[in-house]
Structure 1
Amino acid sequence: MISPPWGLPESCLRRPAYDPATLLKICLNRVPSSRRLERETQHNIELMWLASRLMPDFKTLADFRKNNGPAIQATCAQFVVLCRRLNLFSKAVVAIDGSKLKAVNNRDKNFTVAKVEERLAQVEASIARYLAALDRADRQPSDVAEARTARITEKIAALSEQMKNRQAMRHQVSLTDPNARSMATSGRGTGIVGYNVQAAVDAEHELMVNHAVTNVGSDRAQLVPLGLLAQEATGCATLTVLADRSYLNGGRVPACEDTGLPPCVAKTLTRAATSSDSLQDKILFTMPRRTITLAPPAST
Structure 2
Amino acid sequence: MPRFIPLNYQQNSMVVINYLDQLQAGTFEYAIHHLIDEKLDLSVFYPKYKNDNNGRPAYDPAALLKIILFAYCKGITSSREIQWCCETNVIFKALSCDSVPHFTTIAGFVSGRRSEIESVFEQVQLICHEQGLLGNELFAIDGCKMSSNAAKEWSGTFNELQEKRDKLKRQIRYHMNEHETLDKTEGADEARKQRAAQAIDTLNKAHDKIEQFLKKSEPRMGKGKRPKEVKSNITDNESGKMTTSKGTIQGYNGIATVDKKHQVIVDATVFGEGQEHHTLQPVLTGIQNRFKRLAISEDILKSQTIITADTGFANEKNMQFLHDNDINGYIPDNQFRSRDPKFKEQKTKYGKRHQDNKTRKKTVFQSSEFSFDPVTKHCVCPSGETISFRGIRENDQGIKTAYFEGKLLQCRNCNKKHQCMHNPSAADHRKGAGRQVSFRLDSKREPTYTDWMKHRVDSPKGKQIYSHRMSVVEPVFGNIGTNKKLNRFSLRGKDKVQGQCQWHLYCLIHNLEKLNNYGQLAA
Same fold per superposition (TM over 0.5): yes
Does 2:152 match 1:107?
yes
Give the counterpart of 1:187 among 246, 259, 269: 246
Q: Partner amino acid for 2:310?
A: D
Show structure 1 runs of 5+ residues with no match: 1-14, 138-142, 145-150, 289-300
Q: Secondary structure of the equivalent of 1:72?
A: helix
Q: Structure 1 CA distance, aligned partners of 2:151 and 2:115?
A: 28
Give the counterpart of 2:328 among 243, 246, 262: 262
Q: Secondary structure of the equivalent of 1:198?
A: strand
Taking a change above 3 Å as real, the CA distance of residues 280 and 233 of structure 1, as seen in their structure-2 partners, is closer
1:194-251 CA deviation, whole Å, 9 max, x = no partner?
Answer: 2222111111111111121221111111122212222333322333112122222232
Does 2:345 match 1:285?
yes
Q: Secondary structure of the equivalent of 1:89?
A: coil
Taking a change above 3 Å as real, the CA distance of residues 130 and 201 of structure 1, as seen in their structure-2 partners, is same
Does 2:275 match 1:218?
yes
Q: Partner amino acid for 1:26?
A: I
- 2:253 is aligned to 196
Q: Structure 2 CA distance, aligned partners of 1:217 and 1:249?
A: 15
Quote how far apart the aligned CAs of 1:166 are: 8.3
Q: Structure 2 CA distance, aligned partners of 1:42 and 1:186?
A: 41
Q: Structure 1 CA distance, aligned partners of 2:267 and 2:60?
A: 27
1:122-144 CA deviation, whole Å, 9 max, x = no partner?
Answer: 458758978999xxx8xxxxx66
- 1:230 is aligned to 287
Does 2:129 match 1:84?
yes
Give the counterpart of 1:93 among 114, 138, 142: 138
Q: Is the 8 A contact 2:213 2:234 kept in 1?
A: no
Q: Partner amino acid for 2:306?
A: T
Does 2:60 match 1:19?
yes
Q: Structure 2 CA distance, aligned partners of 1:90 and 1:104?
A: 37
Quote how far apart the aligned CAs of 1:181 are: 2.3
Quote how far apart the aligned CAs of 1:264 are: 1.8
Relative contact order (alpha carbons < 8 A, sep ≥ 6): 1 or 2 greater? Answer: 2
Q: Structure 1 CA distance, aligned partners of 2:93 and 2:100?
A: 14
Q: Structure 2 CA distance, aligned partners of 1:78 and 1:128?
A: 59
Q: Structure 2 CA distance, aligned partners of 1:49 and 1:166?
A: 44
Q: How does 1:123-162 map to 2 (within 5 A)?
A: 123=168, 126=171
Identity %: 22
Q: Is the 8 A contact 2:165 2:211 kept in 1?
A: no
Quote how far apart the aligned CAs of 1:280 are: 6.5
Does 2:108 match 1:63?
yes
Q: Secondary structure of the equivalent of 2:316?
A: coil
Q: Partner amino acid for 2:105?
A: T
Taking a change above 3 Å as real, the CA distance of residues 166 and 79 of structure 1, as seen in their structure-2 partners, is closer
Q: What RMSD over aligned residues (CA atoms) do the two structures have, in Å?
A: 4.6
Q: Structure 2 CA distance, aligned partners of 1:266 and 1:39?
A: 49
Name the stretch that deviates more: 33-42 or 217-226: 33-42
Q: Is the 8 A contact 2:322 2:328 kept in 1?
A: yes
Q: Secondary structure of the equivalent of 1:222?
A: helix
Aligned pairs, how many? 254
TM-score (norm 2): 0.39
Taking a change above 3 Å as real, the CA distance of residues 104 and 285 of structure 1, as seen in their structure-2 partners, is same
Taking a change above 3 Å as real, the CA distance of residues 178 and 201 of structure 1, as seen in their structure-2 partners, is same
1:88-127 CA deviation, whole Å, 9 max, x = no partner?
Answer: 334332111112233322334x221285376367458758
Does 2:309 match 1:250?
no
Q: Structure 2 CA distance, aligned partners of 1:222 and 1:66?
A: 24
Q: Structure 2 CA distance, aligned partners of 1:44 and 1:286?
A: 57
Q: Structure 1 CA distance, aligned partners of 2:120 and 2:243?
A: 33
Quote how far apart the aligned CAs of 1:283 are: 0.9
Taking a change above 3 Å as real, the CA distance of residues 128 and 23 of structure 1, as seen in their structure-2 partners, is closer
Taking a change above 3 Å as real, the CA distance of residues 67 and 166 of structure 1, as seen in their structure-2 partners, is closer
Q: Structure 1 CA distance, aligned partners of 2:268 and 2:211?
A: 40
Q: Is the 8 A contact 1:96 1:198 kept in 2?
A: yes
Q: How does 1:27-42 map to 2 (within 5 A)?
A: 27-28=68-69, 29-30=72-73, 31=75, 33-35=77-79, 37-38=82-83
Q: Is the 8 A contact 1:34 1:59 kept in 2?
A: no
Q: Structure 2 CA distance, aligned partners of 1:259 and 1:41?
A: 51
Q: Secondary structure of the equivalent of 1:176?
A: coil
